[in-house]
Amino acid sequence: MIIPAIDLINGQIVRLYQGNFSEKKIYSNDIHAKIKDYYSQGAQIIHIVDLDGAKDPTIKQIKLYKSILSKIDVYTQIGGGIRTEKDIETLFEIGAKRVVISSVAISNCTEVKKWFKNYGGNAIVLALDVLINANNCKEILINGWQENSQLSVENVIKKFSEYGLKYVLCTDISKDGTLLGPNFVLYKELTQLFPHICFQSSGGVSSLEDIVRLKSCGIKDIIIGRSLLENRFTLLEAISCYQNA
């Protein structure tokens, strides 16, 4: 399916270029209106990222999430700065349907395995932000893309697959926010290696043709941010394109 993305900094909808916080573009501060618009066009899930929380877990925008979800009955998956089980419980309590975890899966693997056991694979999305090096190794970046974990995507997926991993959100950071097209080779390799995983692609989608190609690569969910914010096509058009591809 098509999943519209809303990235937030200080209560504003933004997009970063290749994850660079110094290259930030602000689109709107009316989050409720944007979510309602996506929902009215047929969105089944809204992907929300707290970029403040991703950079510094002590300043997560929980009050903002609570305000949004108290006014709009919409299925959301939320990520950014989730480090503890209390963080997960808080998001579920205010209405999130899935939580998106990233850095903590690398820094505290043992604890995250417990979360998969406690909540199940349907409740947790594992977000892996990828930097492909000169040797074509898919290295995972953590802590708001500020640190290289030196671990490969393949090894991390294998590790958590034993504990019920179902959803993996994979982003090639060189593509994120660029409108230069997704990394189709990356996604095709991963879907073939791990057919049991529902991969969510993120980054680079600039046209409806990108959606067609991603589906042909085996991608189940396509997260789209900047193209929708800049009206390159509507969410309704994107959903129709995916369904008919």
User: What is the per-residue pLDDT across 3-58, written as a single tens digit (0 to 9) for each?
Assistant: 999 999 988 999 887 667 777 889 988 999 999 999 999 999 999 998 887 777 78
> Which residue shows structure tokens 């095709």?
188
Tell me whether residue 50 is one of the annotated catalytic residues: no
Amino acid making up residue 67: S
> Which residue shows structure tokens 């969910």?
221
Length in residues, the chain? 245
Of the candidates 7, 50, 172, 221, the residue annotated as catalytic is 7
Tell me whether residue 129 is one of the annotated catalytic residues: yes
CB 69 within 8 A of CB 46: no
By the 10 Å C-beta count (0-12 exposed, 13-18 middle, 19+ buried), 152 is classed as: middle
The domains located in the chain, with CATH, are: 2-244 (3.20.20.70)
Per-residue pLDDT tens digits for 196-214? 999 999 988 999 999 999 9
With b meaning 16 or more CB within 10 Å and e meaning fewer, what string describes 216-242? Answer: ebbbebbbbbbbbbeebbebeebbbbb
